[in-house]
Structure 1
Amino acid sequence: MSFFVETIDMDLGETPIENIFINDFMPMADGTYVKVYLLGFKYAKDNDTTLNITNEVIAKHLNIPLSDVLRAWDFWESKGVINKHPKDSEDEYDYMIEFVNLRHLYIRNNYKHIISNEETGSSNLYTCSAEDLVEANQIPGINDMFNSIDYIIRRPLVPNERKRVLEWIYNYNMNPDIIVKAFFHSMEKKGRRNLSYVEGIVRNWYDSGITNLEALQDYLKSKDEKFYRYERIMKSLGFGFRQPSESEMRVIDKWFDEWKFTIEVILKACENTKKTSNPSVSYIDGILSSWHKDGIKDVSAVKKDEENRSAKKSINSNVRQNQSQNFKTKFHNFEQRTSKYTAEELEKMVLNKRG
Structure 2
Amino acid sequence: MAFFKSTTNIDLGDTLIENIFIDVYMPMANGTHVKVYLLAYKYACDKEQANIIDNTTIAKNLNIPLSDVLGAWDFWESKKIVKKIPNEQDENNYSVEFVNLKQLYIDNNYKTIHSPSDETSLSPYTCSTKDIIDANLIPQVRDMFNQINQIIMRQLVPNEKMQILEWMQNFNIDPPLIVKAYSYCKHKKNNKNVKYVGAVIRNWYDNGIASLEQLQEYLLKQGERYGLYDRVFKAMGFSYREPSESEKKIMDRWVEELKFSLEMILKACENSSKTPNPNINYINGILQDWHKKGIQDVKSLEELMDTSKSAPLSKLSKPTSPIKQNKTKFHLATSRGDKYSAEELEKLVLNKQRNK
Q: Tell me if 1:191 matches 2:193.
A: no
Q: Secondary structure at the match of 2:137?
A: helix
Q: Say if 1:154 and 1:249 are closer, same or farther in 2 by CA, change over 3 A.
A: farther
Matches within 5 A, 1:142-221: 142-221=141-220
Query: How far off its partner does 1:251 sit?
Result: 1.4
Gaps of 5+ in 2: 1-114, 335-356
Residue matched to 2:280: 281
- Distance in 2 between residues matched to 1:184 and 1:193, nearest whole Å: 9
Residue matched to 1:125: 126
Matches within 5 A, 1:249-260: 249-260=248-259
- Distance in 2 between residues matched to 1:193 and 1:271, nearest whole Å: 33
- Distance in 1 between residues matched to 2:291 and 2:216, nearest whole Å: 27
- Distance in 2 between residues matched to 1:332 and 1:310, nearest whole Å: 43
| Aligned amino acid, residue 132 of structure 1 | D
Query: How far off its partner does 1:157 sit?
Result: 2.9
Q: Secondary structure at the match of 2:136?
A: helix
Superimposed CA distance per residue, residues 19-78 of structure 1 (whole angstroms, 9 cap, x where no aligned partner): xxxxxxxxxxxxxxxxxxxxxxxxxxxxxxxxxxxxxxxxxxxxxxxxxxxxxxxxxxxx
- Distance in 2 between residues matched to 1:247 and 1:145, nearest whole Å: 27
Residue matched to 2:222: 223
Q: Tell me if 1:233 matches 2:232.
A: yes
Q: Say if 1:299 and 1:135 are closer, same or farther in 2 by CA, change over 3 A.
A: same
Query: How far off its partner does 1:270 sit?
Result: 1.2
Greater CA radius of gyration, 1 or 2? 2
Selected match of 1:134 from 133, 136, 143: 136
Q: How many residues of Structure 1 are paired with residues of Structure 2 in the alignment? A: 221
Of 215-224 and 251-260, more deviation after overlay is shown by: 215-224
| Aligned amino acid, residue 137 of structure 2 | E
Query: How far off its partner does 1:186 sit?
Result: 1.0
Asked if structure 1 preserves the Cα contact closer than 8 Å seen for 2:168 and 2:175, the reply is yes
Gaps of 5+ in 1: 1-114, 336-355
Matches within 5 A, 1:317-332: none
Superimposed CA distance per residue, residues 286-322 of structure 1 (whole angstroms, 9 cap, x where no aligned partner): 1111112222211112122223333445667899xx7
Asked if structure 2 preserves the Cα contact closer than 8 Å seen for 1:169 and 1:175, the reply is yes
Matches within 5 A, 1:93-112: none
- Distance in 1 between residues matched to 2:135 and 2:145, nearest whole Å: 11
Residue matched to 1:346: none
Superimposed CA distance per residue, residues 262-303 of structure 1 (whole angstroms, 9 cap, x where no aligned partner): 111111111102312222222211111111222221111212
Asked if structure 2 preserves the Cα contact closer than 8 Å seen for 1:128 and 1:166, the reply is no
| Aligned amino acid, residue 125 of structure 1 | T
Q: Secondary structure at the match of 2:147?
A: helix
Superimposed CA distance per residue, residues 78-125 of structure 1 (whole angstroms, 9 cap, x where no aligned partner): xxxxxxxxxxxxxxxxxxxxxxxxxxxxxxxxxxxxx99xx6574543
Residue matched to 1:295: 294
Q: Say if 1:123 and 1:214 are closer, same or farther in 2 by CA, change over 3 A.
A: closer
Query: How far off its partner does 1:327 sit?
Result: 6.3
- Distance in 2 between residues matched to 1:142 and 1:199, nearest whole Å: 17
